[in-house]
Amino acid sequence: MKLKNEIMLITYADSLGKNLKDLHTVLDKYYKEAVGGVHILPFFPSSADRGFAPIRYDKVDEAFGDYADIEKIGEEYYLMFDFMVNHISAQSPYFQDFLKNNDQSKYKDFFIRYKDFWDNGEPTAEQVDKIYKRKPRAPYVEAEFADGSKEKVWCTFCEEQIDLDVTKKDTKDFIIKTLKDMCKRGAAIIRLDAFAYAIKKADTNCFFVEPDIWNLLHEIEEVVNESGAEILPEIHEHYTIPMKIAEQGFWVYDFALPVLTLHALYNHTGEYLKSWLENSPKKQFTTLDTHDGIGIVDVKDLLPDEEVEKVKEQMYKQGANVKKIYSSEAYNNLDIYQVNTTYYSALGNNDAAYLLARAIQFFAPGIPQVYYVGMLAGENDLELMERTKNGRDINRHYYSLEEIEAEQERAVVRKLKELMELRNNHPAFNLEGDIKIQCEGSKMKITRSYNNDQITLVADLMNYEFEIQ
């Protein structure tokens, strides 16, 4: 099924029930009208990062089901798949063959070897300083080969996620084959995870390196477009980068909206939110929550620096069980640009504030995405996070079928579902439609229109009351 202008659910294969069959049941039983598409987070065999260290792409993790289950969901809902363009698992057959056979491996060109990449085999201190790093040192892992030799191989993220050399023919062939297979399996849109890290050049920051990154994007676009699918580059950085990507006709994420909406609700003013909504791209996917934390870096210069700091502190003070330590090294979190919490808990588990936040999101330009925990107005899962010591698990609760059924009785869940159905069915939300916003004090009015159709959100950011006209 091709991409539609209807709300996309983001979920793991085993978070709404135990597997893909359960997920399909939940969708059909409760959300047939509320959800038009599903981003099933990486469902491939993986060695780390809850799917984001894929061992292979030609199989579904057996714990979830198989590709037949994926394809059945795709008959009723448009699908988004993840492709980790930057890396592959250290347990993948490609890297394991490289470790076994070294220079004789047919996959040796898949990986970025320090000895070949850097002059003299090592970066200088100045070159390391330039790199946009996720570690407090040069990004590498020391590969240990079967013959006893060792060498440094580029590794941006955790040691189970080995970077790919996307410039080499063998790697490009692998990328093309994988993308084509995804399209055959029913992907309407392919999310390019961590794509901004994919191009490395000495004496650059190795992050969104132009013009090479554009060449890579257009090459990938050409492959998937043959099947009528689309691509969504994923990037958390200054808002001007997604804007540049949007200007070239690609889909982008609106990662600025979550914090701007929190700021508006915490401080009872829509001043900064209004400015962004009037200028954000039409061809985008909006979020309030995802499988990661709430991004802070994405609002730099959309909010003054002092307002960014203010809203971060408000998240900790006004949110329910939101603590700084949950986004720290103590919980294996090095992403200082994110705050780990559910969106519902960031708003103090306040039903009215939460529903208004969703209403604002649904009136924003683009296609809304709703994360599964957010769809059930889920609170911070402190028990899971303490068990795993992974800060992001605070927002990754595993729902049983019985829990999901019980959650449907909550007023906030029912009302959110009604809002989702309205967003999917009202013609004024056409992607090419217009948006008009009025702000006066705590009062905010957002009007969406397309041809002769119009719909208006009238909201009070002070008491969180709103109506739709």
Question: Would you name the residues annotated as active-site residues?
Answer: 193, 234
- Dihedral sign for Cα atoms in the order 27, 31, 37, 41: negative
The helix (run of H) or strand (run of E) holding residue 230 is: strand 230-233
How many other CB atoms sit within 10 Å of the CB of residue 68? Answer: 10
In this structure, which amino acid lies at residue 92?
S
In this structure, which amino acid lies at residue 220?
I
Q: Which of 464, 238, 200, 455 is nearest to 352 (CA)?
A: 464
In this structure, which amino acid lies at residue 66?
D
Q: Are 9 and 38 in contact (CB under 8 A)?
A: yes
The helix (run of H) or strand (run of E) holding residue 232 is: strand 230-233
Question: What's the half-sphere exposure (Cβ side, CA atoms, 13 Å) at 287?
Answer: 22
466-468 and 453-460 strand pairing: antiparallel
Q: At what angle do helices 20-30 and 67-74 cross, to 10 degrees?
A: 20
Q: Which of 352, 354, 351 is nearest to 343 (CA)?
A: 354
